[in-house]
């Protein structure tokens, strides 16, 4: 790792270059340009720089893992040769076309048999029959494969004889093949086309709340362009985590590939668990240590499963985040995402591009937007402006323009004065639920379609199914269970006072033999029955958060995967001397911190 002096010396070299080309040469050599911070003698270029978790974890590690390790882009590739052949003394009497056929057959013979001539023998014969007879004859002589005995009526061998002899010889040869290649799990090419199609299906059918960043349904295609940090975060910690467990842990297949895919899944979820812990809105020393444990486990697993993979600088920097979590607390108070959003907003401001005018235009536009947001958050905001709120919010939050009109909070939670709808008669099922709860209610009350609580909007299932999926806390218990909001009930309890109840239906517990999602507690996900219990009444304060919901079929049942989207993680993992302090983990930690990448 470089020292402060080495950084400053590289900056001096860059500044000392007299031409633009010379400066670019220095930058390519050192990877450093210059910084105004160099003028501060007390500023240490190493110790005083903090790693930004948003760029490191989302644009760095999540992007790298799913793109270049798992291979979400499904790129074609040529596997390395599994055996070596040398063809010498090729007759000069052969035509150029025959010589090209010889090279083609040689490449086929050096490639894995299963991918070149499989899956059936007829396919291999048909492939070789396209070559010229004199080329096949030479190949038989070069590899010294035995030819069949000719019947009395025949005096010469035909293409069919050569092809069968070559294929018989190749079937018994020993291949020197990478174990990952034999299971079709090479680094960068783990995901198969059918698996990506299944992931695309999940991306289209998963239910997530409207405040969550939208992601492309055809992930890995060039059409969606470059993904932003928020999108990689949503994909890595929610969508792909749920989908990969469904693909590689729910399957009953017991092949060699399925076992290796499960090992890759565990390593992948170590990364996702580390990121989930690091980005929690609460931070404790136990959670910070859990982050380090999962991150080291991920790096250890990557090196074990893909020995040829070279760790990147981002892997090194991720280790240092543990120290910053202990020093500064939750990452939301010091990461760069707010600045990135501000830069994005300023970039969308129309301007002339002229220096001097452009800055003034951006400043005025930003001020107008801030004033409008303040106006919308005030209780005395004009009704005509309030009615236009969805349009304004779509301007403020461009990443949600394609989502429903229930957007992030721009004001206080909903109170009694915010409800101007007429009272309605209670539906029969809702009245029965109140009676079961021993709550006295009038014959009429307000039934709004949504309610704002803790900065989030919760809606009824018939209004917005995604925002109706909530985790609720049982009275007198710390356990949380998934449920669906059916009714929002507002009762006036006094002068300008109101009480909010929710009519919810819980998801039933799934009757299954195993739940692989419970093996990864940091994800806070579980399999539940798709069927709902009878309607019950809860207080609004019992709502903890939304949850992501993916319908699945497992063990012949219609189920769902419910992943809590709580922004506060209470998970703590206790480590013994055999885990985080193991010799292999400490050895990898020293290797990464010293910057000795393979």
- Give CA–CA dist 225/165, Å, rounded: 50
**Tokens read off for 383:** 């009704």
Q: Do residues 111 and 256 both lie within one domain?
A: no
- For every residue of 352-395, DSSP letters joined together read ---TTHHHHHHHHHHHHHHHHHHHHHSTT--HHHHHTHHHHHHH
pLDDT for 372 equals 82
Mean pLDDT per block of 10 residues along the chain (598 residues) reads: 88 93 91 90 88 94 95 73 85 91 91 79 90 93 90 87 92 76 76 92 94 91 88 95 94 84 95 94 92 96 92 92 93 89 78 80 83 81 79 62 36 45 84 90 85 90 93 83 94 74 94 92 93 94 94 92 82 40 48 44
- Would 589 be classed as within a structural domain? no
* Res 349: pLDDT: 79
Q: Is residue 83 part of a domain?
A: no
Query: What is the spatial distance between Cα 258 and Cα 183, in angstroms, rounded to a whole number?
Result: 8
Distances (CA, A) of 457 to 89, 388, 390: 78, 17, 13
Handedness of CA 326, 329, 331, 333 (dihedral sign): negative
200 and 164 in a common domain = no
Burial status of residue 558 (CB atoms within 10 A of its CB: 0-12, 13-18, 19 or more): exposed
In angstroms, rounded to a whole number, what is the distance separating the alpha carbons of residues 487 and 477? 23
**Can you point out the beta strands (E) in 460-542?**
469-473, 480-494, 497-509, 525-532, 536-539
- The sign of the CA dihedral 206, 211, 217, 219 is negative
The per-residue pLDDT for 123 is: 86
Identify the domain boundary among 333, 365, 388.
Answer: 333
DSSP, residue by residue, 192-208:
-HHHHHHHHHHHHH-B-
Do 465 and 493 sit in the same domain of this protein?
A: yes
Q: What is the pLDDT of residue 497?
A: 73
* 480 φ, ψ (degrees, to nearest 5): -120, 145
Q: Is residue 341 part of a domain?
A: no
Q: Is residue 300 part of a domain?
A: yes
Please check whether residues 310 and 252 belong to one and the same domain: yes
Residues 15 and 108 both lie in one domain: no
**Residues 135 and 262 reside in one and the same domain:** no
Please report whether residue 163 resides in a domain: yes
Rg (C-alpha) for the chain, rounded Å, is 31
Q: Do 323 and 364 sit in the same domain of this protein? A: no
**Are residues 294 and 390 both part of a single domain?**
no
Is residue 295 located within the same domain as residue 253? Answer: yes
* CATH classification of the domain holding 499: 2.30.30
> Which of 70, 90, 83, 185 is CA-nearest to residue 142?
90
**Residue 558: strand, helix, or coil:** strand
394 lies in the same domain as 462: no
Q: Supply 478's token pair.
A: 């710390």
Instruction: Flag whether 89 is in a domain.
Output: no
My answer on whether 325 and 191 are in the same domain is: yes
Helix (H) or strand (E) holding 553: strand 543-554
pLDDT the model gives residue 177: 67
Residues making up the chain, counted from first to last: 598
For residue 578, tell me if it sits in a domain: no
Which among 282, 298, 333 is the end of a domain? 333
At 186, list the tokens: 């090479």
Distance CA 120, CA 2 (A): 57
Please give the residue range of the domain that contains residue 122: 96-172
Torsion of CA 257, 305, 113, 198, to 10 degrees: 40
pLDDT in the model for residue 84: 87
Contacts for 113-116: CB closer than 8 Å, 24+ residues apart: 113/170, 113/171, 113/173, 113/175, 115/79
What does the DSSP 8-state code read for residue 99? H
Alpha-carbon span 114 to 370, nearest angstrom: 63
In a domain, 546, yes or no: yes
Instruction: Check whether the bond before 439 is cis (ω within 30° of 0).
Output: no
How many structural domains does the chain have? Answer: 5
Q: How many DSSP H helices and E strands does the chain contain?
A: 22, 11
Do 160 and 195 belong together in one domain?
no
Domain end call among 412, 435, 459: 412
């Amino acid at each position: 790792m470089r020292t402060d002096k080495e950084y400053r010396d590289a900056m001096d070299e860059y500044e000392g270059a007299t031409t633009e080309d010379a400066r670019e040469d220095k930058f390519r050599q050192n990877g450093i340009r210059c910084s105004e911070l160099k003028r501060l003698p007390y500023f240490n270029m190493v110790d005083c720089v903090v790693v930004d978790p948003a760029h490191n974890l989302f644009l760095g590690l999540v992007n790298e893992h799913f793109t270049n390790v798992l291979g979400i882009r499904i790129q074609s590739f040529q596997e390395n040769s599994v055996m070596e052949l040398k063809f010498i003394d090729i007759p000069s009497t052969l035509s150029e076309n025959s010589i090209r056929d010889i090279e083609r057959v040689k490449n086929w013979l050096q490639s894995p048999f299963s991918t070149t001539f499989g899956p059936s023998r007829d396919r291999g014969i048909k492939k070789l029959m396209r070559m010229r007879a004199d080329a096949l004859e030479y190949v038989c002589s070069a590899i010294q494969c035995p030819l069949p005995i000719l019947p009395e009526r025949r005096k010469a061998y035909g293409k069919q004889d050569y092809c069968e002899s070559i294929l018989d010889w190749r079937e018994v040869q020993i291949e020197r093949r990478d174990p990952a290649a034999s299971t079709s799990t090479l680094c960068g090419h783990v995901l198969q086309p059918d698996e990506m199609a299944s992931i695309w299906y999940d991306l289209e059918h998963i239910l997530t709340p409207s405040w969550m960043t939208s992601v492309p349904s055809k992930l890995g295609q060039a059409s969606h362009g470059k993904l932003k940090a928020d999108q990689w975060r949503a994909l890595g910690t929610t969508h792909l985590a749920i989908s990969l467990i469904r693909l590689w842990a729910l399957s009953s297949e017991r092949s060699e590939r399925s076992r290796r895919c499960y090992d890759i899944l565990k390593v992948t979820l170590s990364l996702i668990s580390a990121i989930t812990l690091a980005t929690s809105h609460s931070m404790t020393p136990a959670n910070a240590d859990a982050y380090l444990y999962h991150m080291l486990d991920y790096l250890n697993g990557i090196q074990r499963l893909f020995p040829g993979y070279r760790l990147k600088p981002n892997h090194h920097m991720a280790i240092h985040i543990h120290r910053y979590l202990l020093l500064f607390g939750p990452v939301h108070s010091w990461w760069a995402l707010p600045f990135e959003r501000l830069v994005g907003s300023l970039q969308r401001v129309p301007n002339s591009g002229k220096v001097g005018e452009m800055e003034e235009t951006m400043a005025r536009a930003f001020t107008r937007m801030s004033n409008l947001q303040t106006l919308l958050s005030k209780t005395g905001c004009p009704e005509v402006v309030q009615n236009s709120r969805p349009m304004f919010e779509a301007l403020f939050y461009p990443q949600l323009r394609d989502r429903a009109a229930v957007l992030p909070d721009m004001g206080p939670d909903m109170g009694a004065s915010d409800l101007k709808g007429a009272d309605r008669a209670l539906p029969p099922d809702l009245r029965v639920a109140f009676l079961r709860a021993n709550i006295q209610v009038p014959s009429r009350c307000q039934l709004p379609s949504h309610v704002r609580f803790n900065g989030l909007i919760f809606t009824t299932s018939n209004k917005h199914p995604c925002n109706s999926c909530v985790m609720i806390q049982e009275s007198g218990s710390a356990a949380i269970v998934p449920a669906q909001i059916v009714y929002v009930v507002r009762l006036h309890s006094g002068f300008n006072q109101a009480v909010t109840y929710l009519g919810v239906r819980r998801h039933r517990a799934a009757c299954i033999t195993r739940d692989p999602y419970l093996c990864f507690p940091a994800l806070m996900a579980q399999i539940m029955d798709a069927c709902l219990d009878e309607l019950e009444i809860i207080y609004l304060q019992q709502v903890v958060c939304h949850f992501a919901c993916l319908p699945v079929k497992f063990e012949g049942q219609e189920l769902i995967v419910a992943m809590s989207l709580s922004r506060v993680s209470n998970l703590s993992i206790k480590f013994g001397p055999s885990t985080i302090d193991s010799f292999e983990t400490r050895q990898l930690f020293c290797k990464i911190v010293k910057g000795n990448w393979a």
